[in-house]
Amino acid sequence: MSRHRSACIIHQRTFSKTHIFKNIKKKHEPKSEHIPTDFINDKSSHTNLLYYRWLNGKSKRITSRRLGISYDSNIHARDPSTTFKQGNRHMYQKCLSNFQYNLSPNLWTQKRQNICFKRTCLPVRHLLYKHSDSIPNADDYPFLVPYFTMDSNHKKQIMTKLTQASSSTGPSAPPNNYNPIPDVFIPKKYRDIIPKDLIYMNDRYVTPGSREWFTYMYNVDESYYPPESRTPRYNAKGKYVARTPIYRSEVVENYVPSHIVEKSQLRRTEKLKADALTKEAAYHGTTSKYYNSHANIVRSVTNASNSFHECMPKYLAKRQQNHEFGFSNATLDKNLNKFLKNNNI
């Protein structure tokens, strides 16, 4: 149904019989140029369609509300060397990228989405070569096979596309709102040497917070120590002697002030704590505003329950003993009422 609605279980059978697939308007969409007008719905036609999609490097964005995920799917043909060396007869394999979670805010729905997602994490089966230890024969396949496309011309075309794809994965130019302080944990030894300007390594822009950025920061930090101090030193008690860097006040204008970096790291820590508190509160069915009071109530009830189960066996045994010897239970009952009052039971 529209707007993600569903019929109730009492009327679902009637709804399926009388309303489903009724009054559906046909979509006037232009037919894809990769699907011929005389397309035949059989295995060979679908395999050839898959072949052309692989050859053109088509990418498909997939979104699943049932699983709470979205990702990009690409078709890759297996290299002939892997077919022979590893004995893998699969022709194609799917490459999934740009994976994102789109879970429902409802905790029960999130649980169902995780169960369905884990159930679908199975190996993907594709078309198979008939033999993995010999060059395939084109006459054995009634459809196009990627193995026979691996000649020099096609390989050059494919490698060009792969190079373009790999270069597009990382940013070739800095963003307009460039921030030299990355939103990651920064060691204290790097917090006073973060450059204000853009960083380039081998004529390539380095994103703050990436692996290349930390490598650059490590080299900058090492350049401020004298060469003789690079070897670790220990005192007579075997404790490590910290190195003393060269004073770098003459180039401090090239770096972001350390107090700004400290504030940024403090805000990041507070945000992580707030997010963790929100997640923990949602797990307990409340909000971050009322989480502490809710947690105190849970803790109080738990402690009272444990104390009650620890006290009652002793109380009942003492009461039975007083009954056998004919003693009064007034003092015992008074202590019990006091215990229940103190524990709010």
pLDDT band at 37 (very low <50, low <70, confident <90, very high): low
Q: Token pair for residue 195?
A: 């450059």
Please tell me whether residues 100 and 227 are part of one structural domain: no
pLDDT beyond 70 at 80: no
Three-state DSSP state, 100? strand
Rounded (5°) CA angle 324-330-333: 95
pLDDT beyond 80 at 22: no
Structure letter (DSSP) for residue 140: G
- Residue 258: name the closest of 186, 177, 158 by CA: 186
Please tell me whether residues 194 and 210 are part of one structural domain: yes
> What pLDDT score does 166 carry?
46
Please tell me whether residues 48 and 163 are part of one structural domain: yes
Q: Look at residue 222 and tell me if it is in a domain.
A: yes
Q: Look at residue 3 and tell me if it is in a domain.
A: no
Structure letter (DSSP) for residue 184: S
Count CB neighbours of 257 within 10 A.
14
- The Cα–Cα gap between 142 and 244 comes to 73
283, 302, 321: which is the final residue of a domain? 283
Within the chain, where are the H helices? 12-18, 43-56, 80-85, 107-120, 152-169, 211-222, 258-283, 291-325, 330-342
Tell me how far CA of residue 72 lies from CA of 62, 66, 128, 229, 295, in angstroms.
Answer: 6, 17, 23, 50, 41
- Domain of 226 in residue numbering reads as 188-283
Higher pLDDT, 305 or 125: 305
Which neighbouring-strand residues pair with 204? 201
The tens digit of pLDDT for each residue in 257-276 reads 888 999 999 999 999 999 99
If one counts the domains in the chain, the total is 3
Return all residues near 261 (Cβ < 8 A) that are at least 6 apart.
181, 186, 191, 192, 194
Q: Look at residue 194 and tell me if it is in a domain.
A: yes
pLDDT beyond 70 at 157: no
Please tell me whether residues 37 and 164 are part of one structural domain: yes
Q: Look at residue 15 and tell me if it is in a domain.
A: no
pTM: 0.42
The tens digit of pLDDT for each residue in 109-154 reads 888 888 887 777 655 455 666 665 566 666 676 666 665 555 555 5
Choose from 109-118, 220-229, 239-248 the range with maximum mean pLDDT.
109-118
Please tell me whether residues 91 and 140 are part of one structural domain: yes
> What pLDDT score does 255 carry?
87
- Residue 76: name the closest of 20, 152, 158 by CA: 158
Please tell me whether residues 48 and 137 are part of one structural domain: yes
**Are the beta carbons of 91 and 146 closer than 8 angstroms?**
yes
Question: How distant is the alpha carbon of residue 55 from its chain centre?
Answer: 30
Comparing 170-179, 269-278, 292-301, 330-339, the range with the smallest average pLDDT is: 170-179
Comparing 76-80, 268-272, 325-329, the range with the smallest average pLDDT is: 76-80
pLDDT band at 165 (very low <50, low <70, confident <90, very high): very low
Tell me how far CA of residue 77 lies from CA of 136, 260, 341, in angstroms.
Answer: 15, 50, 74
Please tell me whether residues 138 and 38 are part of one structural domain: yes
Higher pLDDT, 62 or 164: 62
> What pLDDT score does 168 carry?
46
pLDDT beyond 90 at 46: no
Sheet containing strand 69-77, edge to edge, reads 59-64, 69-77, 92-101
Please tell me whether residues 224 and 253 are part of one structural domain: yes
Comparing 52-61, 62-71, 226-235, 289-298, the range with the smallest average pLDDT is: 226-235
> What pLDDT score does 263 carry?
93
Three-state DSSP state, 88? coil
